[in-house]
Structure 1
Amino acid sequence: MRVDTNRSKIELLINQLDLNEHIEQFQSFFSREHSLYIEGDQELHFKYIKSLDKLEFKAPPKVSDFTNIKNHLKKHGVLNFEQIFEIVKVVRYFRYFKNRELDGIIGEWMSKFIIDVKFTEVEKYFTNDGKFEENLDETLFGLSARIQEHRNNMSGALKRMMSSSKLAGYLVDTQVHFINNEDCLLVRGGFNHVLKGAVVGRSTGGFFYVSPDSILKSKEQIRFIEQEREAIFYEYAKEFSAKLAELQPFINFIDKEFTKFDNYQARVLFAKSKNMQLVKSKNDSRIVLSGFVHPALHNAKPITVDFTKNILMITGVNAGGKTMLLKSILASAFMAKYIIPMKLDEHKSHIGSFKSVLAIIDDPQNVKNDISTFAGRMQEFSRIFSESKALVGVDEIELGTDSDEAAALFKVILDDLIKRGQKVVVTTHHKRLAALMADRDDVELMAAIYDEEQRKPTYEFMQGIIGKSYAFETASRYGINNAIVKEAKAVYGDNSEKLSLLIERGSQLERELKQKHKKVDDKLEELRLKELHIKETREKNLKELEEQKAALKRSYDVAISEAKSAAKAGDTKAIHRAMDKANKKLPPQKEELIKRHEKFKVGDSVKYHSQSGLIISMKGEKDATIEVDGMRVRVKTKHLKHTQIQKIKPKTDVKVQVEKKAGLKCDLHGMRADEACDELDKFISNALINGWDEIIIYHGIGTGKLSFAVKNFLIAHPSVKKFEDAPQHLGGFGAKIVTL
């Protein structure tokens, strides 16, 4: 019951702080459901998280909870294959990490996983996607082959029936229908003269869905075989469960360790996906935020705030971001408590630790509880008094009552909360309350800033001052008549205006100080940029060098591929054309900074990139045709350089022999199994020698013995990559397409 209460409090706080979407995205990175809080030593957990953050690794698979699995094993029950595979997934993932032979605490952690041989005997029967490896059991393999044979027979029988001249007059269409789990033909009345079978349904047009007797018999045989398979699967499940029951301590260990690892990896991968930082709360009550961005805001101005004192009082312009600043402070403390990634400058920020984070934000008044706003606020404050070492946020503390009375009341309330070890951040428009608290050493003032020139909030904050609400300006900005606003200012009075002037003067001084700070920061930034300039230049040069290397490699591969294609064509002219085409695919060279004035003429020995050649013709001064290794290439003269090699024209002597290659098909009809295997072995050898990578083998359907022998031979052959039944127009189940 207490766990449910705590969970509901956390869910309420997440909703109040506008963190719902952020937390949902974070929880989607878990492999299985967990609470946000990691039980145990938080310092140790954070150490593992930071170590894991330095690694690149694949996310673990989705895994179900082990509670039911472990209870079954305790009672010596039989697990199904799905439950067994859940354990296999976890062990395989830890083996993936263990095989990386990592250093540091992650490597030490992975070294603790010792996988028993009994487990590997179970694991080998499961594929990567959790299917049972039937090929490891000869009986299962044979049963699967029999099922496939029956299905092939059913398919063939249906096709023969549809092509039968006797049945043609009764067929409504030439499709195979699947009705009530049966393969059927749609026929007209009177079909029973030419077709024996069971009617399994009627169409809307009054026709009959009929499953032929031969199909029903085959299906019945398949059901019997499936029962045999299930019996074998159950025996395997019993055997596996018995072995896993002996490994219960190991299963308990990996279950517990995977829960910890899942908590770590979810935080690391979520932070990387959103470019966020991992921050843990410190062992004090200070809160210093630098560059913090609330996850609910898009394109927001980063928040910088120093909340080292007991009370932070936020005042200032309406709609200036006071409530979001309060939510940001509370949200940062909440996320640091649970080590949930956030966006901030982790090196300049410091977030303390609090037993609980509490928010009084919403208006508690509603019809159902028949309670006023102020009375509801008092109820919420009464609950806070029972807490200790909490971070409390109160939005619009004066909400719902007289301002002068509220100022005195809330001053005393805040004093009492501080005595109880609470840390409080409030937003208020109470100048009196702010004035009462301003002279205290444990109170920090902060004001939302208003842009006088543009007459709108800046969504920035200054510390150390009381901010003006700018109620009149806000009214004008949202459409209230200027005459009404002017009259309201007159009613407000001179004394109140003087107080506002004092507040504005303090704001002006603070702004001037901020501008001076900005100049200093700009100077520091300028120095930092100069310091990084050399490093960036070096990295840029290295990057360009790698790109040029990659470009040259790609150009080389293209040229080689084109040359090979030309050689296979058996045509010298085709070789030349291919080389020209390959040359055009080479990456363009950068223009030289200083223009060269070299002149070239026919007969000059030149160097083009890394190749030496001879100019055999010129077209103006900019284009030349050169001969390189017996091939002619048209190039720009700006890419040529003079060399000292002798002007000897290379001799081109290209001879291409194209052999007639063996056929692509092998017909084994009428052969015995041994004879067919010998013939198939010779055929595959000849196909490999002649360079074929795909062949077709005809073995027919018949009794299935020859098909079975061919299949086994292809499975065992080392040069066969894969094979499958041929398409219907190439022989269907009576032929195999083989990839070598």
Structure 2
Amino acid sequence: MNNKISKTLEFEKIKQQLQNFAATDQGIDKIQALRPETDPEKVIALQNETEDGRKVLRLKGGIPMPRLKSIRSHLKRLEIGGTLNGKEIAEIGRVLSTTREIIQFFQWFEDNEIPFFVLDELVDRLVVLPEITRKIQATVYEDGTIQNDASPALKGIRTGIKQGEQNIRTKLDDIIRGNKASYLSDAIITIRNDRFVIPVKVEYRNQFGGIVHDQSSTGQTLYIEPQAILDLNNHLRQLAAQEKAEIERILYELSMEIEPFTQELYGNSEVLATLDFINAKARYADSLKATRPTISKENHIAIWKARHPLIDQNDVVANDLILGEAYQAIVITGPNTGGKTIMLKTLGIIQMMGQSGLQIPADEDSQIGIFTEIFADIGDEQSIEQSLSTFSSHMTNIVSILNQIDDKSLVLLDELGSGTDPQEGASLAISILDYIGGIGSYVMATTHYPELKAYGYNRSGTINASMEFNVETLAPTYRLQIGVPGRSNAFDISKRLGLNPSIIDQARSFIDVDSQNLNEMIADLEQKRRVTEKESMQLQAQLEESDKLLADLKRANEKLETNKEKIIEDAKKEANKLVDTAKEEAEFLLQEIREMQLNMGTSGSIKEHELIDLRRQFNDLRQDESLAKNKVLRKEKEKKILKPGDEVITETYGQRGTLVEKKGNGEWVVQMGIMKMKLPESDLRLIKEEPQQQKRQRQIATVKSASSSHVATQLDLRGQRYEEALAEVDQYLDAALLAGYPQVTIVHGKGTGALRKGVGDLLKRHPQVLSYEYAPVNAGGNGATIVTFRG
């Protein structure tokens, strides 16, 4: 893209603003080299970079990039075998430490799996050199001075220098405080030619001996190195020479250690510069409240609420700029000082920013094109040196533009045809626009010729526009009106300023009828446009109010649903508490009924399955407190397919059983130990297939527990062998649990105590035993154990 357009549209000022956000020398170099790209893929890639930078800015406040000097010249000197000074090595160390810090900074994004377009790849190219970094940090300070601990020899030399300086000062202090103090111009110690001296009055120069190193401007004071410290100063100079030699040796060795890693350092500095460049673009976009534009390869421009970036964003007037799809030419007509030229520059500078990878000062969803060239003829190009008039200068520029344009060019023409006879200028303007339209270039032109007001109506692909003018305030509003040509406001302004109406009427009579009709038509269009915009704003306000009411209604409904569910949940919890209380009381009654049944023998009228069914009815009184859980359970139950022989768990009783056969109404006959019960399918949960060995062992235990049809609440072991008794206790506990007993008694007698201990050990290991204790004295004492099961 031609260099002249950057100057015309002030793109260089954009880059100067952008540089204020850069931290590194090489980042600034990249900004200075910034140019609009004409390849859509490159433009998209550059926009991706800026978008990555905006993401980092939103999430972490931007990339923490410190001030970095360019190290390219340092690395070139290393490549040819040169030695770096302390400051240069410190700058390389700064690059290395920044490299480590940047990698650590981006680790957070990787840990949180936050994607980027390009930043991931850039950071992956950074190389950490921990040994070199440590060596540099242990040798030089950030200002380039060499540390005392850089080598043992340097530390010793500097210790000697410090001691030598102290000795010299001690001797000089004795002189300036001694009996010769009156010979001094001032009681101070100073340095001349790197040697300690004292200021002596010229008439006493021979009182101290030594060497004169300098004199004051008046010649009344001599700076003398007394004879008493000559040897000390000489020794100090020797130490200084040793220090210099040792520093040169240290820097040489350190330079040689850095040299093998010059390529890695080149790469790191380039990546850091790119990160700084991206960070600067992001911060600049944030300062402008800019947005990322979409790219139209067909050059359909739609920039919503476009703002010129060089005008204070608090004062600038935003305008919609649309070009390319419905029309390829916009002709802005109307008087001067209305903001027409700013519209040209706004379109041009935003297009250049977008093609350079910068986000644009416009609203979201704005769209730019990709132009191979942008040409502009804006402002007074008059050249005094060439003795060209304004018209000649403009025309020379336009001729050059017309010789270069193609169908991928954007042309911006300000005051087209001005500077000559109005009739001829208008005719030339129309012909130039026709020529540009024939080539297919995109054009925005401004003019004050009334003849071009009708041009937009007569040419396809062309539309009129104007800058709004407020007649009431006699000031432009700087708002672009697409589709409405500009009209002269001279009569209205003159009337508002108090010009005699008769003069205005006479002036109107001098204007031909067509011009008057055109102005009246434009005025009518402006009036209708204002009415339409007012209605649009009212509708927009009503729409926003409706959206707000809808949002409030949704929030209120959500709150109502939340409270409703909470009330239901609280009610269910309270109901469950009542049911639990009633169930506890019923359990005592059921236990008494069972004991009565057992005492009555097989002739009892109350059956065990009737008792279990009664327990299920109590359980059914409980309310499910989690609606979501019920839905999940229902879905899971819908998935299961049951068949005879399947092992199941009953949800109500928590008992394990085997399916025997299916009955009508979704019920199954379930064998649970010694009992068969008819249960609904919704109460059954399928158990996964067990290994054959475990299944066989469980079946044997079930058969054994089922061998006794009636289970008593007391088991008498007296007179049995130890092993048989413990085996019977194990089977009895299972049978008692299946019967639903909360508590049983095991009579083992007192005897030697072995059986009593064995029963206790067995109960201690049993998972369903809550507690056990000896019976009361009147019920057997320690000859019987009362066992309580878990609920």
Q: What's the secondary structure of 1:61's corresponding residue?
A: coil
Please list the CA deviations of residues 316-370 of structure 1 after superposition, one character each: whole Å capped at 9, or x if unmatched.
343111111111111111111112344321x132122222322211222232012
Is 1:387 matched with 2:405?
yes
- Report the Cα offset of residue 429 of structure 1: 0.9
* Partner residue, 1:201: 214
1:317 and 1:447 map into 2 onto residues whose CA distance is 9
Distance 1:207 1:335, change over 3 A: same
- Report the Cα offset of residue 76 of structure 1: 2.8
**By percentage of residues, which structure has more helix?**
2
* Partner residue, 2:187: 174
1:399 and 1:469 map into 2 onto residues whose CA distance is 17
- Report the Cα offset of residue 378 of structure 1: 2.1
1:149 and 1:279 map into 2 onto residues whose CA distance is 68
1:46-445 matches, cutoff 5 A = 46-55=47-56, 56=60, 57-100=62-105, 101=107, 102-103=109-110, 104-105=115-116, 106-116=119-129, 119-120=132-133, 122-124=135-137, 125-167=139-181, 169-177=182-190, 184-213=197-226, 218-273=232-287, 275-279=289-293, 281-298=295-312, 299-308=315-324, 309-345=327-363, 347-385=364-402, 386-388=404-406, 389-445=408-464
Letter matched to residue 271 of structure 1? A
Higher gyration radius (CA): 2
- Report the Cα offset of residue 182 of structure 1: 5.6
Letter matched to residue 98 of structure 1? I
1:418 and 1:225 map into 2 onto residues whose CA distance is 83
CA contact (8 A) 1:314 1:445 kept: yes
Please list the CA deviations of residues 410-443 of structure 1 after superposition, one character each: whole Å capped at 9, or x if unmatched.
3232233234342111111122123123333411
Distance 1:109 1:436, change over 3 A: closer
Q: Which runs of 5+ in 1 are unaligned?
A: 1-5, 538-740
Letter matched to residue 374 of structure 2? V
Distance 1:236 1:204, change over 3 A: closer
Aligned length: 527
Q: What is the identity percentage for the equivalent residue pairs of Structure 1 and Structure 2?
A: 23
Letter matched to residue 525 of structure 1? E
Q: What's the secondary structure of 2:202's corresponding residue?
A: coil
Please list the CA deviations of residues 522-561 of structure 1 after superposition, one character each: whole Å capped at 9, or x if unmatched.
2233345567889999xxxxxxxxxxxxxxxxxxxxxxxx
* Partner residue, 2:21: 29
* Partner residue, 2:674: none
Letter matched to residue 302 of structure 2? V
- Report the Cα offset of residue 23 of structure 1: 2.6
Please list the CA deviations of residues 208-231 of structure 1 after superposition, one character each: whole Å capped at 9, or x if unmatched.
131323566555444433332332
2:497 and 2:198 map into 1 onto residues whose CA distance is 74
2:436 and 2:494 map into 1 onto residues whose CA distance is 35
CA contact (8 A) 1:182 1:211 kept: no
Q: Which runs of 5+ in 2 are unaligned?
A: 557-791
Letter matched to residue 380 of structure 2? D
Letter matched to residue 44 of structure 1? A
Distance 1:406 1:485, change over 3 A: same
1:527 and 1:332 map into 2 onto residues whose CA distance is 35
CA contact (8 A) 2:296 2:369 kept: yes
- Report the Cα offset of residue 310 of structure 1: 1.1
2:171 and 2:554 map into 1 onto residues whose CA distance is 75
- Report the Cα offset of residue 399 of structure 1: 1.5
Letter matched to residue 46 of structure 1? Q
- Report the Cα offset of residue 116 of structure 1: 4.2
Q: What's the secondary structure of 1:41's corresponding residue?
A: helix
Letter matched to residue 456 of structure 1? A
2:501 and 2:194 map into 1 onto residues whose CA distance is 78
Letter matched to residue 270 of structure 2? K
* Partner residue, 1:525: 544
Distance 1:228 1:279, change over 3 A: farther
Higher relative contact order (CA 8 A, sep 6+): 2
| TM-score using structure 2 length | 0.60
1:274 and 1:295 map into 2 onto residues whose CA distance is 7
Letter matched to residue 525 of structure 2? G
Please list the CA deviations of residues 2-47 of structure 1 after superposition, one character each: whole Å capped at 9, or x if unmatched.
xxxx7xx54x534433455443121233312221149893433332
Letter matched to residue 394 of structure 1? L
- Report the Cα offset of residue 170 of structure 1: 1.9
2:507 and 2:168 map into 1 onto residues whose CA distance is 92
1:530 and 1:217 map into 2 onto residues whose CA distance is 95
2:158 and 2:274 map into 1 onto residues whose CA distance is 42
CA contact (8 A) 1:279 1:340 kept: no
Distance 1:48 1:17, change over 3 A: closer
Letter matched to residue 17 of structure 1? L
Letter matched to residue 34 of structure 2? L
Letter matched to residue 312 of structure 1? I
Distance 1:27 1:479, change over 3 A: farther
What's the C-alpha RMSD, in Å, of the aligned pairs? 3.4
Letter matched to residue 320 of structure 1? G
2:357 and 2:170 map into 1 onto residues whose CA distance is 63
1:580-599 matches, cutoff 5 A = none
Distance 1:464 1:221, change over 3 A: farther
CA contact (8 A) 2:200 2:223 kept: yes
| TM-score using structure 1 length | 0.64
1:283 and 1:242 map into 2 onto residues whose CA distance is 52
Distance 1:141 1:485, change over 3 A: farther
CA contact (8 A) 2:154 2:247 kept: no
CA contact (8 A) 1:46 1:280 kept: no
Letter matched to residue 71 of structure 1? K
CA contact (8 A) 2:125 2:271 kept: no
Please list the CA deviations of residues 590-649 of structure 1 after superposition, one character each: whole Å capped at 9, or x if unmatched.
xxxxxxxxxxxxxxxxxxxxxxxxxxxxxxxxxxxxxxxxxxxxxxxxxxxxxxxxxxxx
1:336 and 1:235 map into 2 onto residues whose CA distance is 53
- Report the Cα offset of residue 508 of structure 1: 1.5
Distance 1:207 1:404, change over 3 A: same
Letter matched to residue 51 of structure 1? D
2:195 and 2:509 map into 1 onto residues whose CA distance is 89
